[in-house]
Amino acid sequence: MIDIFSFILIFVIVLLAITLYVLYINNTNTNKKLQQQNDMIQTIQEQNHQKSITIAKQLQQLELLDETKEQNSSFQDQLIVSKQLNSTLQTKLQQQKISFDEKLKLMLNNEQIFIQKFENLSNEIIDKSQKKLQDENKKSLEYILSPVKIQLSDFKKKVEDIYEKDTKDRLNLSNELKELKELNLQMSKEANNLTSALRHDNKTQGSWGEIVLDRVLENSGLRLNHEYKRQISLKDANDKQFQPDVVVYLPDDRQIIIDAKTSLVSYNLSISCEDETQRQNHIKNHTISIKNHIKGLSKKKYEELKGINSLDFIFMFIPIESALLIAMETDVNLFDEAFKQKIILVSPSTLLVALRAVENSWRYEKQAKSITKVYSRAEELYKKFVGFVDDMDDIGKHINRANDSYENAYSKLSKGQGSLVRQATMLKDVSNIKPKKELKAVDYE
């Protein structure tokens, strides 16, 4: 009994457990379904809410549409009225356009007639004024330009003369250089001819050297007491008096001093000597004599004399070409030693070249002064011409102002209903005056 009861009890418990499980499963499914249904209900509610909003908006739009229809109906009425008004305005505008075109055509015709009359009158006045102005300008120009033409002609002639002279001088320079060689040969020949007369006589040698120097100066083209002077008295800082043989003046207020007192006794002895040993001794003595004269000349310091603006070099003149050459052959440093002591050794040929250069510098100086005068005259001429152009410009302005004044006066005289001519004509008509001469017909418009 107990086993059966136990079995039944177990069976009941199992059955209850199964029932509870089934109930649990069913309850779970039911909850899920309920949750799903709740979700669906919520979704439907949201959709219904959105639809409600949409319906509300549509209702508002319908209300607005009704209002729009009413406004549209009002606008349709206004449009009909506007079309009628526009048609009326178009008709009036067309009529006004036709009237305006007719008036414009008439005005253009009147304007063309007025312009033609004005042009004819203006051309007549301008032609008369221009002819008179041209005549006056021609006379004024001839009066003003006459001196200008003369000055231009003089200016052209001076420039051509300067150019022609400069060309001739350049052409003559080559001929003068050729003559220089011939002169040098001639002077050397004369020097040899005078050798016998000059032996053992220093005074005669000095005089002859000065004679040769004079001939070189004459052939250089320089003028005595103009571009050079002979034996002028000068003093040093201690008032000691000196008399250089020649002072040559340069264009830039500077001077060249030339000394011609070189002794040629030993040189002449060397020429006449037949024994070669003695001849060489005379040549050495000749070279020593030149060196001694260089030292003595350097000590005189001619370049420091009062009234002298020297080139800081003294020309030591040796009147025989061969006398200088043989000394320089004996002592090749002779020229450099002299140069260091501010002495330049010159022979007739080299001195003539230097003096010709001085003469050319004077000639160019004169030409430069002439050109400066020409430039000055040209500058004055240009200034006069500038003043003339300014005066002509002022004349043109005065003529334009006079023409404007004439136009204004003529307008007051004869143009318009209030012009003097119109007033005079009306006065004549009112007073029944019958003058012998009538005024010309005038357009008063």
- Amino acid symbol at 436: K
Give the pLDDT score at 239: 84
Three-state SS at 257: strand
Domain termination site, one of 298, 330, 346? 346
In this predicted model, what pLDDT tens digit does every residue of 118-157 receive, in sequence order?
A: 456 555 655 665 666 566 656 655 655 566 556 556 655 6
Asked if 204 and 313 sit in the same domain, the reply is yes
As for how many domains the chain has, the answer is: 3
Question: Tokens standing for 133?
Answer: 């102005």
Dihedral sign (CA 305, 308, 313, 318)? negative
Residues 151-186: b if buried by 16+ CB within 10 A, e if exposed: beeeeeebeeebeeeeeeeeeeeeebeeebeebbee
131 domain-assigned? no
Domain termination site, one of 346, 366, 401? 346
278 domain-assigned? yes
Asked if 342 and 205 sit in the same domain, the reply is yes
- C-alpha 414/C-alpha 416 separation (Å) is 7
Asked if 338 and 199 sit in the same domain, the reply is yes
- C-alpha 436/C-alpha 404 separation (Å) is 33
Give the pLDDT score at 308: 81
120 domain-assigned? no
Domain termination site, one of 325, 346, 367? 346
Asked if 335 and 426 sit in the same domain, the reply is no
Asked if 323 and 229 sit in the same domain, the reply is yes
Give the pLDDT score at 346: 94
Asked if 309 and 211 sit in the same domain, the reply is yes
Question: Tokens standing for 423?
Answer: 């007033």
- C-alpha 445/C-alpha 115 separation (Å) is 12
Torsion of CA 211, 214, 219, 225, to 10 degrees: -160
Q: What is the mean pLDDT of each run of 10 residues along the chain (445 residues)?
A: 66 72 68 69 74 77 73 72 73 71 57 52 58 62 58 62 63 61 58 51 62 89 91 85 90 88 85 88 93 92 81 88 92 94 92 90 82 71 71 76 72 65 66 64 54
Give the pLDDT score at 200: 47
What are the distances in angstroms from CA 282 to CA 84, 110, 322, 426? Answer: 146, 123, 14, 131
In this predicted model, what pLDDT tens digit does every residue of 372-424 receive, in sequence order?
A: 776 677 677 667 767 767 777 777 777 777 777 767 766 766 666 666 666 66
Asked if 199 and 335 sit in the same domain, the reply is yes
285 domain-assigned? yes
Its pTM stands at: 0.46
Nearest residue to 374 via CA among 111, 153, 80: 153
Q: Label each residue of 110-129 as H, E or C.
A: HHHHHHHHHHHHHHHHHHHH
Give the pLDDT score at 79: 72
Asked if 315 and 435 sit in the same domain, the reply is no
167 domain-assigned? no
Domain of residue 421, residue span: 415-445
Asked if 341 and 204 sit in the same domain, the reply is yes
Give the pLDDT score at 118: 47
Asked if 425 and 342 sit in the same domain, the reply is no
Question: Tokens standing for 254?
Answer: 């500077």
115 domain-assigned? no
Asked if 232 and 325 sit in the same domain, the reply is yes
Torsion of CA 26, 27, 33, 37, to 10 degrees: 150
208 domain-assigned? yes
358 domain-assigned? no
